Each structure stands twice: as C-alpha cells, then as structure tokens.
Amino acid sequence: MGDFLNIPCPICDGAIPNEEQEGEYPGATSRFDNKTEICSACGTAEALMEAILRSDPHDNDQPLSVRFQDDGDWDGWRGCVLIQRGILEVGNY
Ligand SMILES: [Zn+2]
C-alpha cells in the first residue's frame, strides 16, 4: 500500500495501477470521461478498444466509445473494456 488512493479500479475491481504495485503510483485515466482513474490493464484495453473501433471501415457511424460517452453509459463502456480484456464473454453481457 502506497500513498495514492487505495480504491479499486471501477472497471475490473482490481488494484490500481496493478496488483503487484498497488497504490505505488497512479493508474490510467479512463477515456470515458478523462477523469476516472482506472488500472493500467484497463487503460491499455481502452486504448486497444478505441484503435479497433476507429479502424473499422464498415462502421460509418460514430465510434462505439463516442456513443457510450454521449449517453453517459458507464456500464456499457465498462462491459466493452472487460470484453476487450477477455474478462467477460461477449454473449454474457
Ligand atoms: Zn481495471
């Protein structure tokens, strides 16, 4: 336990920035609102998720992440990150 906030990651409930270095330094900032602190693994998953969504040439609509952000749909966003991390199966959410 270090000096930073010892709250669990709001996406995966894991330690911030990670289990091995809990509380030793800040985690990542969620792209959902640019202020929620999340763990390193979820931060990486968010970056991957955005890259995949933005690179889809068949999706002429807004990126999924933008839709979640506009709707303030944190649960939907959280589910996507967990799926990206392989924690949730697509069909289970
Ligand atoms: Zn996390």
pLDDT digits (tens, 9 = 90+) for 34-73: 999 999 999 999 999 888 777 766 655 666 667 788 889 9
What pLDDT is stored for residue 78 in this prediction?
Answer: 94
Q: How many CB atoms lie within 10 A of CB 15?
A: 20
Q: What is the pLDDT of residue 93?
A: 47
pLDDT at 1 over 50: no
CA distances from 62 to 9, 41, 55, 70, 74 (A): 27, 25, 12, 11, 17
Query: Which residues, chain by chain, have CB under 5 Å from ion ligand 1?
Result: 9, 11-12, 14, 39, 42
C-alpha 67 to ligand 1 mean position (Å): 21
Distance 34 CA to ligand 1 centre (A): 15
Residues 68-82: what's their mean pLDDT?
90
- Predicted model pTM: 0.80
CA of 29 to the centre of ligand 1 (A): 11
Question: Alpha-carbon torsion 40, 42, 44, 46, what sign?
Answer: negative
Q: Report CA(72)–ligand 1 centroid distance (Å).
A: 19
Q: Residue 43 has which token pair? A: 């931060």
